[in-house]
Amino acid sequence: MPPPEAGADAFTQQRPRLLRLAYRMLGSSAEAEDILQEAWIRWQGADQDGVRSAPAFLTRVVTRLCLDQLGSARARRESYVGSWLPEPLYEPEPEEMRADEITLTLMLALERLSPLERAAFLLHDVFEVPLPEVATALGRDPAAARQLAARARAHVKEARPRYAVAPAEGERIAAAFFQASTTGDLEALRGLLAEGVVLQSDGGGKVTAFLNPILGLEKALRLFAGLARKPHDRPAELLRACRIDGLPGYVSRGRDGLLQTTALAIEDGRITAIYITRNPEKLRQVAAALAATAPPDGLPS
């Protein structure tokens, strides 16, 4: 029997990858951490002498735990107030959450898949798990697993960006959008937004947010014009330019003083989607990261 430290080392080596898999399956860092806690317990109780491949075993455990969790997670989202967005990954983010090319836009596309399709796509296309191992993890034969992955791939094809936005270009557009949207500069916004732009705002029923997506350029312009005209006690404040779930964006405080993240999907130099997260439960890690890097005077709470 391997010594306990050998089992701990095997789990520790796989932990970053398993955490990414669980987050991509569930869209919640907190739930992903809970999944890994349960996976660790199961790993400790396993006959590790009989495990031929620790990575394959742990991937299978985490995948099945996530599939079990997705049923209740989807039920909660059906009663969610307003638009649901994944918990934002703030960059610089924990090292273990890097290393894949999934963006917030693709995360939302994954929400439209069945749990098995989502798992097959992530395991095979993103984490490069061999198809026989995918089939074992899903409890399906290889032909069925291949079909699940192919079906998922076709459904999310349009959500994958055609071209990566250069970091400097993304920062420039994000900064220009913050300035124009907070001042109500409609001419500047018209030059930044695509004709079919979509705006989603997630407050979770806990803080003010748009309940339904705002669709199209003209509706978005009217929205920002109306917000700029509203009386306010303080200006919006840009706290940190960064990437949010792989997209250009920033962390800011609104005129109501509440923390929020804004992520921008950009194609051909225009913003095609705006994702604003204001639900405080989803911003705990962002708030903690900001506090950890704040100057001695701190950031406003």
Assess contact for 88 and 277: CB atoms under 8 A.
yes
Assess contact for 156 and 103: CB atoms under 8 A.
no
Element (H, E) at 213: none
Output b/e per residue, 253-266; b: 16+ Cβ within 10 A: bbbeebbbbbbbbb
Please give the model's pTM, rounded to 2 decimal places: 0.86
Query: Rounded mean pLDDT of 181-192?
Result: 95
Instruction: Report d(CA 287, CA 29) in Å as an integer.
Output: 14
Which of 181, 164, 36 is CA-nearest to residue 97? 36
Tokens matching residue 90: 């703030």
Through-space distance between the first and last CA atoms of the chain, rounded to whole angstroms: 51
Domains, the chain, ordered by start: 4-159 (1.20.140.160), 167-292 (3.10.450.50)
Phi, psi of 77 (to 5 degrees): -70, -25
Instruction: Report d(CA 206, CA 164) in Å as an integer.
Output: 34
Assess contact for 286 and 259: CB atoms under 8 A.
yes
Output b/e per residue, 165-200; b: 16+ Cβ within 10 A: beeeebbebbebbbebbbebbbeebeebbbeebbbb
Residues 117-126 have pLDDT tens digits of: 999 999 999 9
- Residue 249 Cα distances to 13, 50, 77, 244, angstroms: 31, 47, 25, 6
Residues 41-97 have pLDDT tens digits of: 999 998 888 888 999 999 999 999 999 998 777 767 778 888 999 999 876 554 445
Q: Cα 27–30–34 angle (5° rounding)?
A: 110
- In percent, the amount of the chain with pLDDT more than 70 equals 91
Question: From the CA atom positions of the chain, what is the Rg in Å?
Answer: 21
Residues 138-174 have pLDDT tens digits of: 999 999 999 999 999 999 987 776 677 888 999 999 9
The confidence score (pLDDT) of residue 92 equals: 55
Cite the beta strand spans of the chain per DSSP E: 90-91, 193-202, 214-215, 237-244, 247-253, 259-267, 270-277
Q: How many residues does the chain have?
A: 301
